[in-house]
Amino acid sequence: MSATLETDEHKALRAAVAQLGRRYGREYLTKAVAEGRHPGELWAEAAKLGYLGVNLPEEYGGGGGGITELAIVLEELGAAGCPLLMMVVSPAICGTVIARFGTEEQKRTWLPGIADGSRTMAFGITEPDAGSNSHRITTTARRDGTDWVLSGRKVFISGVDIADATLVVARTETVPDKEGHTGRLKPCLFVVPRDAEGFQRHGIDMELQAPEKQFELVLDDVRLPADALVGDEDAGLLQLFAGLNPERIMTAAFAIGMGRYALARAVGYAKDRTVWQAPIGAHQAIAHPLAQSHIELELACLMTQKAAHLYDTGDDIGAGEAANMAKYAAAEACVKAVDQAVHTLGGNGLTREYGLASLITASRVARIAPVSREMILNFVSHQTLGLPKSY
């Protein structure tokens, strides 16, 4: 990206991460996927260079930057063909929530490890019977003496196998009204260690060629000490959104990186492949959609920078709207760029050798998660335009 709004430090960070990304590249990631393992070497090196914890406070081993810098890191790794999806979760959501709302003890326990890559945390909010309607989640946290006891189910939770713990969103037990409703969501966040008793995970067979795996989780009376609760029991949605806005901004960066990677591959191919007198890139039917994708990715990048800037300057409300818009724009630009890239390669677009076809599935992730395209359109319809709700 030309990223004209960026400081010299940001440009230098982009260049340095891009160099790291090029050293690993797509082949490295494809090999990790084939071997069914986490891209641990890249994760460790990115951490060592200070990239994974760039958004975390310096006093806890981080770089003292913000989501702006972390998004640059993820975008550039993605543009080099080796994105690290767990960056969306571990430093961006979990790191942010713990840095903003955790106790001193929680910060000391988790943040240095998240920053240096030695510890990873997954994040679980999605439930099978709630889906996009997170007000409907039923995972419940019950007090028992000073302990908490968690019961419920989660689905599509990424990276639980490699994470030391999962930050689980539950609701505190509330007495249902006469109709059986438990009222609006009052979410609470709990650190659930990977091997906690009663915490089970089952891999979901995804049609995705990615090193990060998704899991269904069962919490069967998982007993946790009082200090497993992160933040205030009554802080509710504000605290949760402190983590979810970075998640959206980082998903936008993930999508822009993937879109840029696909576009670059297509442009390279279109410059060389010649089946008439001139390379296929001279035909406007090939050139214009690629140019359009470049423009759309650039626009999405601008929106992502705006969202990250608002978030980093403490405007949680403004960041909420901008992060949703950035995620929407980036996902749509990514899906289109990948589609056009595959098309540009003709039959080669569908071969394993060229490796672009698998991005068709991968690019859809950003349209669905962490909040779907339709839920963002709902948000803008209701919150921005003041239109009435259908649900």
Ligand X SMILES: Cc1cc2nc3c(=O)[nH]c(=O)nc-3n(C[C@H](O)[C@H](O)[C@H](O)COP(=O)(O)OP(=O)(O)OC[C@H]3O[C@@H](n4cnc5c(N)ncnc54)[C@H](O)[C@@H]3O)c2cc1C
Closer to ligand X by CB, 125 or 270: give it. Answer: 125
CB of 254 to ligand X, least distance (A): 11
Q: Does 207 bind ligand X (CB under 6 A)?
A: no
Of 355, 372, 379, 381, the one binding ligand X by CB under 6 A: 372
Q: How many CB atoms lie within 10 A of CB 201?
A: 18
The CA-CA-CA angle for residues 360, 361, 363, to 5°, reads 70
The three state secondary structure string of the chain is CCCCCCCHHHHHHHHHHHHHHHHHHHHHHHHHHHCCCCCHHHHHHHHHCCCCCCCCCHHHCCCCCCHHHHHHHHHHHHHCCCCCCHHHHHHHHHHHHHHHHCCHHHHHHHHHHHHHCCCCEEEECCCCCCCCCHHHCCCEEEEECCEEEEEEEEEEEECCCCCCEEEEEEEECCCCCCCCCCCCCCEEEEEEECCCCCEEEEECCCCCCCCCCEEEEEEEEEEECHHHEECCCCCCHHHHHHHHHHHHHHHHHHHHHHHHHHHHHHHHHHHHCECCCCEHHHCHHHHHHHHHHHHHHHHHHHHHHHHHHHHHCCCHHHHHHHHHHHHHHHHHHHHHHHHHHHHHCHHHHHCCCCCCCHHHHHHHHHHHCCCCHHHHHHHHHHHHCCCCCCC
Q: Does 77 bind ligand X (CB under 6 A)?
A: no
Site for ligand X in 117-176 (CB under 6 A): 123-126, 131-132, 156-158
Q: Does 253 bind ligand X (CB under 6 A)?
A: no
CB of 65 to ligand X, least distance (A): 23
CB of 131 to ligand X, least distance (A): 3
CB of 283 to ligand X, least distance (A): 35
Q: Does 363 bind ligand X (CB under 6 A)?
A: no
How many residues form the binding site for ligand X (CB under 6 A)?
21
Taking CB atoms, the residue at the shortest distance from ligand X is 131
Query: What would the x/- binding string for ligand X be over residues 313 to 352, using CB under 6 A?
Result: ----------------------------------------
CB of 81 to ligand X, least distance (A): 18
Closer to ligand X by CB, 166 or 344: give it. Answer: 166
CB of 143 to ligand X, least distance (A): 24
CB of 381 to ligand X, least distance (A): 10
CB of 134 to ligand X, least distance (A): 8
CB of 157 to ligand X, least distance (A): 5
Of 343, 375, 380, 381, the one binding ligand X by CB under 6 A: 375
Cβ 292 vs Cβ 344: under 8 Å: no
Query: What would the x/- binding string for ligand X be over residues 27 to 46, using CB under 6 A?
Result: --------------------
**Largest interatomic CA distance in the chain:** 79
Closer to ligand X by CB, 136 or 283: give it. Answer: 136
Closer to ligand X by CB, 210 or 235: give it. Answer: 210
Q: Does 365 bind ligand X (CB under 6 A)?
A: yes
Of 96, 214, 305, 324, the one binding ligand X by CB under 6 A: 214
Interface residues with ligand X (CB under 6 A) are 89, 123-126, 131-132, 156-158, 214, 365, 368-372, 374-375, 378, 391
